[in-house]
Amino acid sequence: MITIKEYVRVKTLEEAWQLNQNKMNRILGGMLWMRLGSGMVNTAIDLSELGLDAIEENEEEFSIGAMVSLRDLEVHEGLNCYTNNAVKNALKDIVGVQFRNMATVGGSIWGRFGFSDVLTVFLALDTYVELYKGGIVPLEEFANRKADNDILVRLIVKKVSGKVVYSAMRNQSTDFPVLTCAVSNVNGTYKAVVGARPAKAAVYYDKENRLINGETEEARKMFAEDVAKVANTQSNARGSKEYRTHLMKVLVSRGLVELGGLDGN
């Protein structure tokens, strides 16, 4: 477990940002990933009094504060109605209910973890992150940046027309996934998001226009093959490179079949 010399419940984001400019200080999300480390933290910066634990919904978007727990997302009616339970499906196998009551969406997205179900599902939607200094950035761009000393304030999910499906393969329920996969059609654009390759989730577009004339079985298969060709995989303790590539084709095609059966927004 990490050691912590000081703990501050900040009163403003500016105070948090100032403290976070010192490399020895760390923002606390749910602290679940962070505590696995063994380093020393000078000041642990707690954002829990800044009101960042709410999910707000209006006609145009969902605004999700950085301190919202994974469990609150999992059981949020509006978000699950909009995503046809894709958000719930992505989160429900992460360790356990108690864990998801603590793990935050801010820490999960900030971490840009290779195995992340959270990053995978939000990349499939029209999602943006709001950074305290960096402003509003598309999630896809943020996911490819290196971590700096900014603060993730909230996630914004635009309510555009579209539909999304989530699935992941686990060797055992609640273990880290072997592969994560979300397939969506957002504003008419098809995306396949594949993570835990074991590299971080990345977005693959239908560049060859396989699906442009409808989701036929042949078109689905070709798109899945395209994705598997460009999405590099590696072996680790959970699965081999070849197995992952095979899984990818299966999960992308299955996702597309399911997507075809949905009404969409």
Partner 1 sequence: MEIKLKLNGKVVTGHVQPDTVLLDFLREKGCLSVKCGCDTSNCGLCTVLMDAKPILSCSTLAVRADGHEIYTLEGLQEEASEFVGFIADQGADQCGFCNPGFVMNTIALLRENPEPTDDEIRAFLSGNLCRCSGYDGQLRGIRAFLDSRKN
Closer residue to partner 1 (CB): 4 or 250: 4
Closer residue to ligand FAD (CB): 100 or 220: 100
Compute the least distance from the CB of residue 86 to ligand FAD, in Å: 14
- Does residue 1 belong to the site contacting partner 1 (CB under 8 A)? yes
Closest to 130 measured CA to CA, from 150, 111, 114: 150
- Does residue 204 belong to the site contacting ligand FAD (CB under 6 A)? no
> Residues 194, 213: contact at Cβ < 8 Å?
no
Burial of 86 (0-12, 13-18, 19+ CB in 10 A): buried
Tell me the pairing of strands 40-46 and 26-28: parallel
**What is the enclosing helix (H) or strand (E) of 169?**
strand 162-169
Cβ atoms within 10 Å, residue 13 = 16
- Does residue 174 belong to the site contacting partner 1 (CB under 8 A)? yes
Q: Which residues contact 214 (CB under 8 A, 6 or more apart)?
A: none
- Does residue 7 belong to the site contacting partner 1 (CB under 8 A)? yes
- Does residue 32 belong to the site contacting ligand FAD (CB under 6 A)? yes
Among 124, 125, 143, 152, binds ligand FAD (CB under 6 A): 152
Residue 176 contact, options partner 1, ligand FAD, none, Cβ 5-8 Å cut-off depending on partner type:
ligand FAD
- Identify the DSSP state of 239: B
**Contact string (CB under 6 A) for ligand FAD, positions 170-189, x = contact:** ------xx------------
Query: For residue 65, what are the β-bridge partners?
Result: 154
Applying CB under 8 A, the span of 11-19, 29-37, 54-62, 191-199 interacting with partner 1 comes to 29-37
Spatial strand order of the sheet with 40-46 comes to 3-9, 40-46, 26-28
In 3-state terms, what secondary structure has residue 164?
strand
- Does residue 114 belong to the site contacting ligand FAD (CB under 6 A)? no
Residue 106 contact, options partner 1, ligand FAD, none, Cβ 5-8 Å cut-off depending on partner type:
ligand FAD
Residue 222 contact, options ligand FAD, partner 1, none, Cβ 5-8 Å cut-off depending on partner type:
none
Compute the least distance from the CB of residue 6 to ligand FAD, in Å: 15
Helices 241-260 and 217-230: angle between axes, nearest 10 degrees: 140
Residue 1 contact, options ligand FAD, partner 1, none, Cβ 5-8 Å cut-off depending on partner type:
partner 1
Residues that bind partner 1 (CB under 8 A): 1-7, 28, 30-32, 35-36, 44, 46, 48, 71, 92-93, 95-99, 101-102, 173-174
